[in-house]
A and B are shown apart, each in its own frame.
Chain A
Amino acid sequence: MMKELYFALYAIKKNIQSSAELRTSFLMNIVGMSINNTAFIILWGFFVKSVGVIGGWTVADIIGLQGFVAVCFGIVFSAGAGIRKLADYTASGAFDRFMLSPKNLLVRIATSSFGVSALGDIVFGIVCLGIYAFFIHATLYQILLIVLLVFISTILFLAAAIAIYSTSFFFTDANSVTSGLFELFLTPSLFHGGAFQGVMRFIFTFAIPSLLIGALPVEIVRDVSLGKLLLVSILALCWFIVSINVFNRAIKKYESSNFMTFGN
Chain B
Amino acid sequence: MKEIRLATKILKTLVKDRIQYPDKLVVDTIGVIARCGILLILYGYVFKLNDGVINGTTFLFAVWSIFFYFSFSVLRLRDISGEIMRDIQTGNIEVLFSKPISYLSYRMWWQVGSGIYSFVIITIFATLALIFIMGLPSTMTMSIFIPTLILTFICGAILSLFLYSIVGLLSFWIEDINPVFWIVDKAVMILGGSYLPVALFPAFMFKIALWSPFGASQFVTHTVYETWQINWYQLVGIQLFWIVLLGLVVYFMFERAKQKVSVNGG
Bound together:
yes
A residues adjacent to B (C-beta < 8 A): 22, 24-25, 28-29, 31-33, 35-36, 39, 42-44, 46-47, 49-52, 54, 117, 173, 175-177, 179-181, 183-184, 187-188, 191-192, 195-197, 200
Q: A22–B190 Cα gap in the complex (Å)?
A: 31
Docked-complex contact B42 and A200, CB < 8 angstroms: yes
CB of B200 closer than 8 Å to a CB of A: yes
**Bitwise interface map of B from 178 to 196 toward A, beta carbon under 8 Å scored 1, else 0:** 1110110111011000111
B46 near A32 (CB under 8 angstroms)? Answer: no
Q: B182 contacts A196, CB within 8 Å?
A: no
Among the listed B50, B175, B182, B196, which residue makes an inter-chain contact with A25, where contact means beta carbons less than 8 Å apart?
B175
B41 sits at the interface (CB 8 A)? yes
Beta-carbon contact of A183 and B31 below 8 Å = yes
Listed from nearest, the 7 A-B pairs whose CB atoms lie closest are: A32-B179, A180-B30, A39-B186, A176-B23, A36-B182, A195-B42, A25-B176
Contact check, B26 vs A176: say whether CB atoms are below 8 A apart.
Answer: yes
User: Which B residues contact A (CB, under 8 angstroms)?
Assistant: 23-24, 26-27, 29-31, 33-35, 38-39, 41-43, 45-46, 49-50, 54-55, 174-176, 178-180, 182-183, 185-187, 189-190, 194-196, 200-202, 205
Which of B30, B178, B185 makes the CB contact (< 8 A) with A183?
A: B30
Contact call B27/A47, Cβ cutoff below 8 A = no
B50 contact set on A, CB distance < 8 A: 51-52
The docked-state distance in angstroms from the alpha carbon of A62 to that of B130 is 29
- Least CB separation from A33: chain B residue: B182
Contact B179 A188 (CB under 8 A): no
- Contact call B38/A191, Cβ cutoff below 8 A: yes
Query: In the complex where A50-B200, A51-B50, A176-B27 touch, is A197 in contact with B180 (Cβ < 8 A)?
Result: no
Per DSSP, chain B at the interface is helix
**Tally of contacts, chain A with chain B, CB under 8 A:** 108
Grouping DSSP codes into helix (H, G, I), strand (E, B) and loop, the A interface class, with mixed when no group exceeds half, is helix
Contact, CB under 8 Å: A46 / B49: no
User: Given contacts A28-B179, A33-B179, A44-B195, are A179 and B42 in contact (CB under 8 A)?
Assistant: no
Q: A132–B264 Cα gap in the complex (Å)? A: 54
Kindly list chain B residues whose C-beta atoms are within 8 Å of the C-beta of A196: 42
Contact A183 B182, beta carbon cutoff 8 Å: no
The answer to whether A191 and B34 touch across the interface, beta carbons within 8 angstroms, is no
Contact in complex: A180, B31 (CB < 8 Å) = yes
Rounded to whole angstroms, the CA-CA distance of A179 and B183 in the bound complex is 22
20 chain-A/chain-B pairs, Cβ below 8 angstroms = A29-B176, A36-B179, A39-B187, A43-B189, A46-B196, A46-B202, A47-B195, A47-B200, A51-B46, A51-B54, A173-B23, A176-B24, A176-B27, A180-B30, A183-B30, A188-B34, A191-B42, A195-B46, A200-B41, A200-B45
